[in-house]
Every structure is written in C-alpha cells, then in structure tokens.
Amino acid sequence: MRHERLTRHARDLTTRSLDWMDQQWDPEAGLLRAPEEPGGGGGAPVGHMVRETGWYALGLLVRNLPARSGADPADDAAEADLDRARQALGRVLDHQLDAPGERFHGTWLRGPHEQRPTTESVEWRDYDPNWREFIGTTLVIVATEFPEALDGELGRRVDAALRLAVEGTLARGVDPSYTNIALMTAFLLQDAAVRLGEPAWDAPALRLAEQVLARFRVDGTFDEYNSPTYYGIDLYALALWRRYAHQPLLRSAGAEMEAGLWQDTARHYHADLRNLAGPYDRSYGMDLRHYASGIGLWIWAAVGRDLAPFPETGRPFRHAWDLALGPVVAVLGAEVPDDALAHLTGFRGERQVDQVIVRDPCRVATSWVGEQLLVGAEDVGGERGNLADQFHPATVHWAVGSGADDGGADDGDAGPVADVGWIRLVSDLTVDARADGQSLALTCTGHGGGDLALAFQVRAPGLDPAGFAADRWALPGMGAVVQAEADLVAVEPDPRDDTWWVRYVARAVPADRPVRFALALRITD
C-alpha cells in the first residue's frame, strides 16, 4: 500500500499526520514525544509514546518504502524513512512485557517513563492491557503490507511479539461487550493462528467474533454506544476484519457491522456543525472541531479534510496524539455506504433518533438532530452511574453565529460552519435522560437522599453569566426554559478553559424519590 495507491483524501490524511509526527520524533529515544495537552487534562500521555510510534512507523513505510519489486530507493528521503521505520519498530518491540503468568504478560509499556509492572501493580493506572491489541494489530498490518521492511532479525522479533501478545490476551479473556477491544482481539487471534501456525487459536477467535456479532444484531448497536473516539477504533478493527481476515465469518461480519456503524454515525451526524449528536457512552470532548477523535479521522478519509470534524493540525489541539492513527486509517480505507455518505457531506433534514443500546439492563439513547440544534440523552434504566468524565448522558449542541472558526474551508454540499455552543450534564448521580425534539428531560433515581447536586458545563462564545436564572437561560444563539426540582446555587467560570459551570442542588430529598429537571430549548437570532 504505497502512498500513490491511496485515495486522494487518504493521501492527504497520511501527509498531514506524518508532518505532525515528524515534529514529535525524538531520534535519540527512537520514539515519538508526547504532545502537550492544551489546558491540561488527565489521561494525556507523558514523555514518549510507544503505541503511537508504531503507527508512525507504518506511516513512514506508506510514504516512502521502495516498490516490492526490489528496486533501489528512489531517493535519500525514502531510505531515511525506511531506516527510521525500522528503528521505531525496534524501539516499540523493546517495550513489550514478557512475564508469563502475570496479568500484564504480552502487553507494552505506554512509554519508557513507566516502571515495569509487578504483582502489586494496578491495571490501567500502572499499565494498559489494551496495548496488546493496539500494537499487535499494527504489527499485523506492517507485516502484511510491508514484509520487505521486516527482513532478518526484525521480522523474527515481530513474530515473537505477536506470540506474547496473543498469550496475554487469551489469558485475559476479553468480554464481547468491551466492543473496541473485543473486535481487535478476535482479529489478532485469528491472524496469529495462521501467521504463527497455531490453529488452536482459531476457536477462541471465532467464538469472540460470534459473540460480538450476536450482540450487534439484536438492535444494530455496540455496547460502547455513540463514542466519537471508540467508534473510530471500532471502524479500524472492522476494516481489519473486512480487509485481512482469514476466516470468512470475520470478513462478512466485518463488512456487515462496518456498514451498520457508518449508518448509525450518519443518523447522529450534522455536517454543517461538524458534530455528532449525543449521548456519548465514552467521549474525550464535546466539540469534534477542537479535539482529535477517531471518527473525525475516518470522516476525513471518506470526504476530505475540508468537510471533516477535526481541528486545524498546524496549531495545538486537544487529544493530539490520536492524529498518529491517521496512516492506519488511510491504509485500511473508509468504505461508507452511499446513504450514510450523504450525511457526511451535508445536512439532510431534521430527525428524531431513538435507539435501544442493550436490553438487560435496558439502555435507550434518544437524539434530536435539528437544523441548528443537537440534543442527546440516554436512559440507563436507573442502574448505570457515571463513568468518570467520559460518560455524557445528556448533551446539547447548537449553532452560534456564522462563519467557520475551525481552520477548515467550506466545500461540497456542506453549508457554512457556524461556531458551536454546547452543554453537558456532569453528575455522580444515576440519571435517566430523554431527548424529544427540542427538549431534554432528566430524572434522577436510585439515590440515597439528602442534598443532590446537578452540574452543567456550558461553552458558548460571548456567554454572559448573567443570562442564567433558575428558570430560564439566555445563551448566545439559544434560550432555554428550565423546569427544575432544584435550586440554582452557582454560575462559575472554569479556570482551565472558556467554559462555565451551572450548578443546581435539590434540597433534603427523601431516598429514591425521583428528582426531575427539564430544558425546553429554542434557537434565537
């Protein structure tokens, strides 16, 4: 998969992501440096990045590897890229953990700053078990597309690393509801069964693939629902199934679920606002134009940078390390059904989207996609609480003014990109929410009583905090009538960014008595 064989949009994605990664390259460490996260934020990588260095190595091979005919490199730059890719892959392999019998066997350190785990180490905090799947699948792409880059000792080391990764993931036993990791695991197992001559690994691969497919077919959804970043990883894994899988089941199921995932994305997507309507089971931000997301990369590959929900890459942006996934997306290629593709290029009409996510416990997502307003909500059946800062069960996006501010140009069918305001609920309470047209209704149940707090984070250019009253909000471009069984207690700026916190408290609530809060929303001039 040489650079000139990519689509025009895929070439652009590869070029821009490589331009960014070239600036992060540390030749002494043989790894990419971690970028600074604007405004801080937990979860950002520090020091150097191992997983992303693997993606960089693939991009270098795509850019300048000589033709497979054995021709000499076209120029010094091609030879330099090949040498750097091999160096990068070697350094990635250096950070794998070979510890049979330990929970972290076969995974990788996230960076050289991490200490080797011990039996007392805490998963996710001290190491990430998912680096097996992320790096393992990347190595499979490199070995499949560019075997000539892995001649000699490097190729033997890649095979050995894949064996360790599979040993670790088999012992782990990934649950099929952990969608993005389960999809990658099934692919990795079945590929390694052939590549490494271990036919016994086919059975667990097929079993996991069948379980994920069965869950998807119930309601046409994944458990990790409407996640801008993890939908990008789902599409990555499904493209692996569709493109490289040895098993017919994975090839056909990959294409089926990939198409379904694009269609679900299209239902929630507003091409003019460059955003997905919520709710988000897992999300690292609220405005796709200002942070790097997996789904943003895939839309870029499908319709081009000018129409993509992605920040300007020439200046700092949040979650920037995910731009390193660009070459992988480009190599695998976006295959978007025509009906979904239409929604990626222009707004196709107002719609209400109601979707059962899973049935036990019952979770239902509802969304409104209007001409200038997006509303998202999730009813969690009173059983599912807050998932740290990634779970956004109640969201609003709306157009503020006109004219693009994201560094992109208008093209195709999409209209001018308005600035975007947004609201998200943040609460430790279990909240069942519903979006119905231009209204958002919340019900808090399953609580222990007492004083119950609800907070809303709000971002809108030109926002005046005096516009917030207990029963009415006046925001730039939008108004809201509030019906709340709670008192407005504070309107506070966030010192880290340009957002505001609007805090309500329901006083002395008896245990388990429902507390209700509703917003009736209206776009204003």
pLDDT at 522 over 80: yes
CB neighbours of residue 256 within 10 Å? 16
Helix axes 131-145, 76-94, angle to 10 degrees: 150
pLDDT of res. 199: 96
Note whether 34 and 45 are within 8 A (CB): yes
Percent of the chain with pLDDT over 70: 92
pLDDT of res. 324: 97
pLDDT at 69 over 50: no
Distance CA 362, CA 338 (A): 31
pLDDT at 229 over 60: yes
Residue 402 banded pLDDT, cuts 50, 70, 90:
low
Residue 441 banded pLDDT, cuts 50, 70, 90:
very high
Q: Provide the pairing of β-strand 450-459 with 500-509.
A: antiparallel
Strand order in 25-26's β-sheet? 25-26, 31-33, 48-49
Tokens at 194, concatenated: 């052939």
**Can you spell out the DSSP letters for 291-306?**
B--HHHHHHHHHH-GG
pLDDT at 309 over 50: yes
Q: Can you give the pTM of this predicted structure?
A: 0.93
pLDDT (mean) for 114-122: 94
pLDDT of res. 387: 52
User: What is the domain partition of the chain in residue ranges?
Assistant: 1-172, 353-523
CB neighbours of residue 505 within 10 Å? 15
Distance CA 324, CA 321 (A): 6
Tokens at 70, concatenated: 């054995």
Note whether 354 and 261 are within 8 A (CB): no
Note whether 244 and 145 are within 8 A (CB): no
pLDDT of res. 411: 40
Q: Which residue stretches of 276-370 are H helix?
A: 294-303, 326-332, 338-345
pLDDT of res. 408: 41
- Which phi and psi angles does 326 have, rounded to 5°? -50, -50
pLDDT at 117 over 80: yes
Question: Regarding predicted confidence, which is higher, 380 or 70?
Answer: 380
pLDDT (mean) for 291-296: 96
For residue 5, list its beta bridge partners. none
